Amino acid sequence: MSEHILELQNIGKVFNRGSVNEKIALKDFSLTVNEGDFITVIGGNGAGKSTLMNVICGTYPVDEGKVMLGGHDVTRLPEYRRAKYLGRVFQDPMMGTAPNMEIQENLALAYRRGKVRSLMPGIRKREKEFYREQLARLGLGLEERMTAKVGLLSGGQRQSLTLLMATLKKPDLLLLDEHTAALDPKTAAKVLAFTEEIAAENKLTTVMITHNMMDAIRCGNRLIMMQEGRIIYDVSGEEKKSLRVEDLLERFRASAGEVSDRMLLN
Amino acid sequence: MFWSALPGAISLGLIWGLMAIGVYITYKVLDFADLTVDGSICTGGAVCAVLMASGVNAWAAIIVAIIAGALAGLVTGIFHTLMGIPAILSGILTQLILWSVNLKIMGQANQVIESRESYVIVSQLEAGWSILIMCGFLAVVIGGLYWFFGTETGCGIRATGNNPNMSRAQGINVSLNKIIGLMISNALVALAGALLAQYQGFADINMGRGAIVIGLAAVIIGEAIVTRISRNFAVQLTGVVLGGIIYYIVYQFVIWLNLDTEYLKMFSAIVVAIFLAIPYWKKRYFYKFAKKRPPEGGGTDAAGASGEQAAAPQAQETERLETPAEAEGGEHV
């Protein structure tokens, strides 16, 4: 059992149930993520990708079904108590860091993820050396600015820092929610390269939502396509490697889904 | 006459500065506009006055007052976190509850402390001595808060106020931290209320009216003074106390000029409103000035755009500090 990092069992999630704005976000959704998997998730607008992330994180409760993380039933656990299993990077670079706190303080907060916060010092001297080494790997010169406020950093720098924070204490599952979407192409490529490097090095189990079909094909060992709250295509191994963007577009059309402009533009 | 009133103004300023530190914790650290303080400062004064009138020692009385203030903060915290009531409304509701509670505590609209009959820690009859005592109190409070907000729990509270989404993702219990912050804040406010009651010799049901505005004024004045000196937390808190002192010196000056002091609350509110508006105006009408930046290196236009995106929400907080970051600019990842 323990090799199943994440198990979603028959998840149902409906927004605004019973109103004219009723929106079925996830419908009888099941997914099993094995240890070491790097899964990319694609799908049109409103396919339920972000809902999937939020259901795993516990941002809002599910209507039906069960969420298992590392063999534990976390369906009823609040977001902050699931955090010990999860490393997260958001789409919005502003969301993953505390802007008025120092770079090293942000790292210290992340280093204590899943730990009870006591009255011991919030950051210790010997940690700082470790943070400096880790920051140096980003190649952004942030190791020389450890006491600078994070609000001074650019979007790409903040996103790289968030990624480092998400993996500083090895998570059971790394969740990336379109984490390069808000960045310019050059920066996005760098952040993605660092993502792959850090995931490979730490053998992190990863779920990455992306709207970039080329990235979805190139990265990871398994690809999931979502449509109207369901998985419509699940491919891994050799078959995934030989995929082309045209194949994915064909799949979208075959399932009567709209191909969003954003996906085509990429 | 102005100079002879100065020690009194300073000691009052120190007491209100202590109260303003409480406001700083909610307003600045937690990003929570907490209106409980108008009620909890009176609660502190009422509890202290009633206990002392019945013969309880002055020190014991302020300890009970501190606990009462913390409970007031707890109520606001429960309204906000467990019942989902917006921050400002939570504070107003508790404030209203405290109005009745304070009347019940005192049994009437005010309660006198006979300083001739019982020992008081601070008193307007000995303003000079009171200044010394208050400095001692403030040193302990600022030192304690400096230590606390450096601990794991304290850092978690700062992160909660700064970015609740990030805090949850890092496993921080945001609701609990808000409650802790509100309790600490209102405990300090009640302590200030208790000391104020001893200082002036009575507690009064109206002693807290408009306290939030005085607190905010002190926070704003203090920030204007010390921000350029240091961003150190203890320095910021000291600035808040200086803000309180300046507020009361101005108050004394207005009295000395024989101006109508009934206008003072109105002027305070207007001044606070203008200062609160400045960051907004800066962003809205002077945006171009706020984000002046050196030209980017070739081909990094898009990177520059993402950099601006990062800087914009922070513009009000960090505009002055942007220069060093930009000096290293061009290397947006």
Q: Which residue has the higher pLDDT, B153 or A60?
A: B153
The pLDDT of residue B313 is above 50: no
Looking up residue A167, the CATH number of its domain turns out to be 3.40.50.300
Residue A123 CA to chain centroid, in angstroms?
26
By the CB < 8 Å criterion, does A155 face chain B? yes
Enclosing domain of residue A128: 4-265
pLDDT at A265: 57
Q: Which residue has the higher pLDDT, B203 or B303?
A: B203
Residue in B with minimal Cα distance to A56 = B169
Tokens 């002693």 sit on residue: B207
Q: Mutate one of A100, A144, A169, A191 to test the B interface: name it (highest B CB count within 10 A).
A: A100
Determine how β-strand A206-209 pairs with β-strand A38-43: parallel
Rounded distance between C-alpha atoms, residue B34 and residue B40, angstroms: 11
Distance from B51 to chain A by nearest Cα, in Å? Answer: 33
Rounded distance between C-alpha atoms, residue B6 and residue A259, angstroms: 74
The pLDDT of residue B315 is above 60: no
Distance from A249 to chain B by nearest Cα, in Å? Answer: 28
- The 3-class secondary structure across B41-69, one letter per residue, is HHHHHHHHHHHHHCCCCHHHHHHHHHHHH
Report which secondary-structure segment, H or E, holds B167.
helix B164-169
Distance from B331 to chain A by nearest Cα, in Å? Answer: 7
How does pLDDT run across B109-147, given as a tens digit for each residue?
A: 999 998 777 788 999 888 999 999 999 999 999 999 999
Overall domain count for chain A: 1
Nearest residue to B39 (alpha-carbon basis) of B88, B81, B102, B90: B102
By the CB < 8 Å criterion, does A114 face chain B? yes
pLDDT at B332: 38
User: A111 vs A106, A163, A206, CA distance in Å?
Assistant: 9, 12, 19
Percent of chain B whose predicted confidence (pLDDT) is above 90: 66
Nearest residue to A142 (alpha-carbon basis) of A104, A195, A97, A194: A104
By the CB < 8 Å criterion, does B162 face chain A? yes
How does pLDDT run across B272-308, given as a tens digit for each residue?
A: 898 888 878 888 886 555 444 444 333 333 333 343 3
Residue in B with minimal Cα distance to A188 = B333
DSSP alpha helix (H) spans, A58-173: 79-82, 103-111, 125-138, 155-168
Using a CB-CB cut-off of 8 Å, the residues of chain B touching A149 are: 314, 318, 321
pLDDT at B300: 36
Mark yes or no for CB contact B302/A184 under 8 Å.
yes
Kindly list the domain boundaries of chain B, sorted by start residue.
2-288
Mark yes or no for CB contact B171/A80 under 8 Å.
yes
Mark yes or no for CB contact B159/A84 under 8 Å.
no
State the ipTM, two decimals: 0.90
Rounded distance between C-alpha atoms, residue B293 and residue B10, angstroms: 43
Q: Do B293 and B329 contact (CB within 8 A), yes or no? A: yes
Q: How confident is the model at residue B166 (pLDDT cuts 50, 70, 90)?
A: very high
Q: Mutate one of A85, A147, A154, A180 to test the B interface: name it (highest B CB count within 10 A).
A: A154
By the CB < 8 Å criterion, does A193 face chain B? no
Distance from A212 to chain B by nearest Cα, in Å? Answer: 18
Q: Do A110 and A97 contact (CB within 8 A), yes or no? A: no
Q: Which residue has the higher pLDDT, B3 or A2?
A: B3
Distance from B75 to chain A by nearest Cα, in Å? Answer: 22
Mark yes or no for CB contact A99/B171 under 8 Å.
no
Rounded distance between C-alpha atoms, residue A152 and residue A169, angstroms: 24
Distance from A204 to chain B by nearest Cα, in Å? Answer: 17
Q: Of B151, B171, B322, which has the smallest distance from its Cβ to A120's Cβ?
A: B151
Distance from A240 to chain B by nearest Cα, in Å? Answer: 31
Q: Which residue has the higher pLDDT, B283 or B66?
A: B66
Please report the sign of the dihedral spanned by the C-alpha atoms of residue A121, residue A123, residue A126, residue A127.
Answer: positive
Q: What is the mean pLDDT of residues B15-27?
A: 98
Mark yes or no for CB contact A109/B155 under 8 Å.
yes
Mark yes or no for CB contact B155/A105 under 8 Å.
yes
Q: Which residue has the higher pLDDT, B266 or B236?
A: B236
pLDDT at B327: 36
Report helix, strand or coil for A89: strand
Using a CB-CB cut-off of 8 Å, the residues of chain A touching B159 are: 98, 101, 109
Rounded distance between C-alpha atoms, residue B68 and residue B6, angstroms: 32
What value does the mean pLDDT of chain B take?
86
Using a CB-CB cut-off of 8 Å, the residues of chain B touching A159 are: 333
By the CB < 8 Å criterion, does B159 face chain A? yes
Mark yes or no for CB contact A122/B150 under 8 Å.
yes
Which CATH number applies to B2-288: 2.30.30, 3.30.450, 1.20.120, 1.10.3470? 1.10.3470
User: A235 vs A9, A10, A33, A40, B118, CA distance in Å?
Assistant: 19, 20, 13, 10, 82
Rounded distance between C-alpha atoms, residue B223 and residue B173, angstroms: 29
The distance in angstroms from the start CA to the end CA of chain B is 62
Report which secondary-structure segment, H or E, holds B252.
helix B233-256
Give me the amino acid identity at A14. Answer: V
Residues 222-241 of A with CB under 8 A from B: none
Q: Mutate one of B166, B320, B326 to test the A interface: name it (highest A CB count within 10 A).
A: B166
Q: How confident is the model at residue B311 (pLDDT cuts 50, 70, 90)?
A: very low
- For chain A, residues with pLDDT lower than 70 are 1-2, 256-266
Residue in A with minimal Cα distance to B307 = A154
Task: Output the six-digit token pair for B288.
Answer: 């171009």
Rounded distance between C-alpha atoms, residue B255 and residue B249, angstroms: 10
Using a CB-CB cut-off of 8 Å, the residues of chain B touching A98 are: 158-159, 162-163, 166-167
